[in-house]
């Protein structure tokens, strides 16, 4: 440590300037002086911290190694071989800074120093761990927006892997040997399944609605029932969508009742579009009236304006054949006279996130050529998954086997209950004595705004905190939820009536059941 004026001290710098040193020399000398002063201050602070934290068993800052010394440790060199010097050195620097602060605060125990290499390895692995991870969905909601909605079929996963790892014909016509249109990869499939004249796709259904309104009614009026001005997830409101698309909203009817005459009276010279919106994320019951697409289509034709309907979830098959609540189908809407129909790819259709637009050739072509389309177009990864998913619909008899969404929605309740019976003793062992476990009938949901009033019969396990009274129930359930989420393969459950419910409808017997069982020992250890 330097205590008096030296060539690098502030005093020496002042002396040099006094004797007419050049400006460059002065700057360099001052820089050295500042560095020396900083080092002196750091050493003094470390010394003061050492004096403060010199409690028995506590480490002091000077006990910590330098970054270079830590990287030369035999227990660390393998990390650099695996991850590279730059990454490991940066993590080592951050780790030592954190531990130095702890040493200054007096909270770093001396015995922890021997675990420094292991902690560095843990931090490296944690930093490189994926943020998006698989989870086990035991919420009872099949299409859970927060958990990724529809699961892709094996065929879709294989198609994605095959096409993403090598060049592909995204926009290349193999038959003609020239540039092609990416819509052509799925357009013929969509037309065959729905009966549409033409089809195009964008990155989600909100984009499909936005693009359709902008292309068909931008700068003009679009008429919609007041009862259909819905808000979907994330405060995404239909009036805002229409405004963003440049259309002037004309509301007709009332919140609960709209009649055909309301549309007819509102049509004028500036009317460019009649819009229907399926209220899939809420329901009005009681004294209600609405105008169906079949009733509205003749009104639209007589006025010479197109009729567009947004189906939201957009099932491509009649769910009633499996005793599920029926949803409007795109093919039925087209048959009823709709000119353009939009719907989602990752809800009841069971594919990747996408917005599908089907309908009249001239209108779909107008939508496809609208400048906004390029900004909203579907990329190669979801296109590959969507094409493979749509191909499954060519074999409708196999859908409940091959399409995960339909397989989960149609799973027999007795099969789910048998699974609950198998897991009962294992789960009880993992959470006892803090929780009691029983098999119970449950009601789940389709999810993602689809059929909000309807529920699905299911079965699962109910975990009840074993406490003398109500006090502490919330804390016990929070601790259990946290422990389940902290498992290597996180488990997501739901709380209902001061109990934790594990709805097993979505627990795949072939793969996830075994993975769930394998983690119960870790859960037991966490709760012990």
Judge contact between 508 and 405, C-beta under 8 A: no
Tokens of 190: 């969509």
pLDDT over threshold 80, residue 37: no
* pLDDT score of 9: 41
The owner of tokens 């209950």 is 417
Helix (H) or strand (E) holding 139: none
3-class SS of residue 100: helix
> Span 154-400: which CATH code?
3.40.640.10
Q: How many CB atoms lie within 10 A of CB 401?
A: 13
Structural domain spans, the chain = 10-128, 154-400, 408-527
Q: State the burial class of residue 225 (Cβ atoms within 10 Å of its Cβ: 0-12, 13-18, 19+).
A: buried
SS3 for 451? coil
Query: Exposed (0-12), middle (13-18) or buried (19+): which is 390, by Cβ within 10 Å?
Result: buried
Rounded CA-CA distance 95/119 in Å is 8
Query: Mean pLDDT throughout 277-288?
Result: 78
| Predicted pLDDT of residue 38 | 40
Render pLDDT for 311-326 as a digit per residue (tens, 0 to 9).
988 899 999 999 998 8
pLDDT in tens, 325-377: 889 999 999 999 999 999 999 999 999 999 999 999 999 999 999 999 999 99
Q: What is the Cα–Cα distance from 361 to 371, expressed in whole angstroms?
A: 18
Please tell me which of 206-210, 231-235, 239-243, 447-451 the model is most confident about, judged by mean pLDDT: 206-210
Residue closest to 135 by CA, chosen among 504, 486, 497: 486
With both helix axes pointing from N to C terminus, report the angle between 10-18 and 23-52 in degrees, rounded to the nearest 10: 160
- Summarize pLDDT for 12-36 with one digit per residue, the tens: 333 433 333 333 333 334 333 433 4
Q: Tens digits of per-residue pLDDT, 71-101? A: 999 999 999 999 999 999 999 999 999 999 9
- Write the burial class of residue 38 (CB in 10 Å: 0-12 exposed, 13-18 middle, 19+ buried): exposed
Q: Which residues contact 179 (CB under 8 A, 6 or more apart)?
A: 171, 172, 173
Read off the pLDDT band of 396 (50, 70, 90).
very high
Residue 447 has pLDDT above 50, yes or no: yes
- Which one, of 262, 267, 271, 266, lies nearest residue 291 by Cα? 262
Count of C-beta atoms within a 10 Å radius of residue 333: 30
Q: pLDDT tens for residues 131-163?
A: 999 999 999 999 999 999 999 999 999 999 999
- The yes-or-no verdict on residue 387 having pLDDT over 50 is yes
**Does the pLDDT of residue 257 top 90, yes or no?**
yes
Give the confidence band of 281 by pLDDT, cuts at 50, 70, 90: low
Averaged pLDDT for residues 245-252: 95
Q: What confidence tier does 236 reach under pLDDT thresholds 50, 70, 90?
A: confident
Q: For the chain, what's the residue count?
A: 528
Structure tokens at 142: 């099949």
pLDDT confidence band for 115 (50 / 70 / 90): very high
Residue 65 pLDDT exceeds 50: yes
**Pairing mode, strands 271-277 and 221-225:** parallel
Give the fold, CATH level 3, of 408-527: 3.90.1150
The share of the chain scoring above pLDDT 90, in percent, equals 80
Range in 224-233, 391-400, 458-467 with the lowest mean pLDDT: 224-233
CA 257-263-268 angle, 5° bins: 150
As a whole number, the mean pLDDT across the chain is 89
**3-state secondary structure (DSSP) of residue 465:** strand
């Amino acid at each position: 440590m330097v205590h008096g004026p030296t060539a690098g001290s502030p005093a020496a710098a002042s002396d040099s300037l006094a004797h007419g040193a050049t400006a460059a020399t002065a700057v360099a000398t001052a820089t050295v002086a500042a560095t020396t002063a900083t080092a002196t201050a750091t050493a003094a602070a470390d010394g003061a911290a050492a004096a403060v934290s010199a409690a028995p068993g506590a480490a002091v800052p000077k006990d910590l190694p330098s970054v270079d010394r830590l990287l030369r440790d035999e227990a660390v060199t393998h990390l650099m071989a695996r991850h590279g010097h730059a990454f490991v050195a940066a993590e080592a620097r951050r780790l030592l800074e954190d531990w130095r602060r702890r040493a200054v605060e007096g909270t770093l125990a001396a015995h922890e120093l021997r675990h420094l290499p292991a902690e560095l390895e843990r931090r490296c692995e944690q930093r490189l761990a994926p943020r998006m991870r698989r989870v086990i969905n035991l919420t009872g909601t099949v299409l859970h927006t927060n958990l990724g909605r529809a699961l892709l079929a094996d065929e879709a996963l294989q198609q994605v892997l095959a096409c993403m790892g090598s060049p592909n014909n995204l926009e290349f016509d193999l038959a003609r040997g020239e540039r092609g249109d990416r819509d052509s990869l799925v357009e013929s499939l969509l037309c065959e399944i729905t009966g549409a004249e033409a089809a195009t796709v964008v990155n989600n259904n909100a984009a499909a609605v936005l693009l359709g309104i902008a292309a068909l009614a931008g700068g003009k009026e679009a008429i919609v029932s007041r009862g259909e001005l819905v808000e979907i997830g994330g405060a995404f409101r239909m009036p805002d969508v229409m405004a963003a698309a440049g259309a002037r909203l004309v509301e007709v009817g009332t919140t609960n009742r709209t009649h055909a005459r309301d549309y007819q009276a509102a049509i004028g010279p500036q009317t460019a579009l009649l819009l229907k919106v399926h209220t899939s994320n809420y329901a009005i019951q009681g004294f209600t009236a609405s105008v169906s697409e079949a009733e509205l289509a003749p009104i639209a034709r007589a006025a010479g304006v197109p009729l567009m309907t947004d189906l939201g979830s957009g099932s491509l098959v009649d769910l009633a054949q499996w005793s599920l609540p029926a949803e409007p189908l795109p093919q039925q809407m087209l048959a009823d006279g709709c000119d353009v129909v939009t719907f989602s790819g990752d809800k009841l259709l069971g594919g990747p996130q996408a917005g599908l637009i089907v309908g009249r050739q001239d209108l779909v072509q107008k939508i496809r050529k609208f400048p906004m389309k390029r900004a909203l177009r579907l990329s190669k990864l979801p296109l590959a998954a969507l094409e493979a998913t749509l191909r499954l619909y060519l074999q409708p008899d196999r859908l409940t086997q091959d399409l995960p969404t339909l397989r989960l929605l149609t799973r027999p309740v007795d099969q789910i209950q048998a699974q609950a019976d198998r897991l009962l003793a294992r789960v009880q062992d993992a959470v006892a004595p803090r929780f009691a476990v029983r098999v119970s009938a449950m009601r789940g949901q389709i999810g993602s705004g689809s059929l909000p009033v309807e529920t699905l019969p299911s079965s699962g396990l109910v975990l009840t905190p074993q406490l003398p009274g109500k006090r502490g129930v919330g804390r016990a359930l929070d601790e259990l939820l946290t422990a389940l989420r902290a498992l290597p393969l996180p488990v997501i459950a739901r709380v209902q009536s001061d109990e934790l419910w594990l709805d097993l409808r979505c627990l795949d017997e072939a793969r996830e059941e075994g993975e769930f069982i394998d983690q119960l020992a870790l859960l037991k250890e966490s709760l012990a």
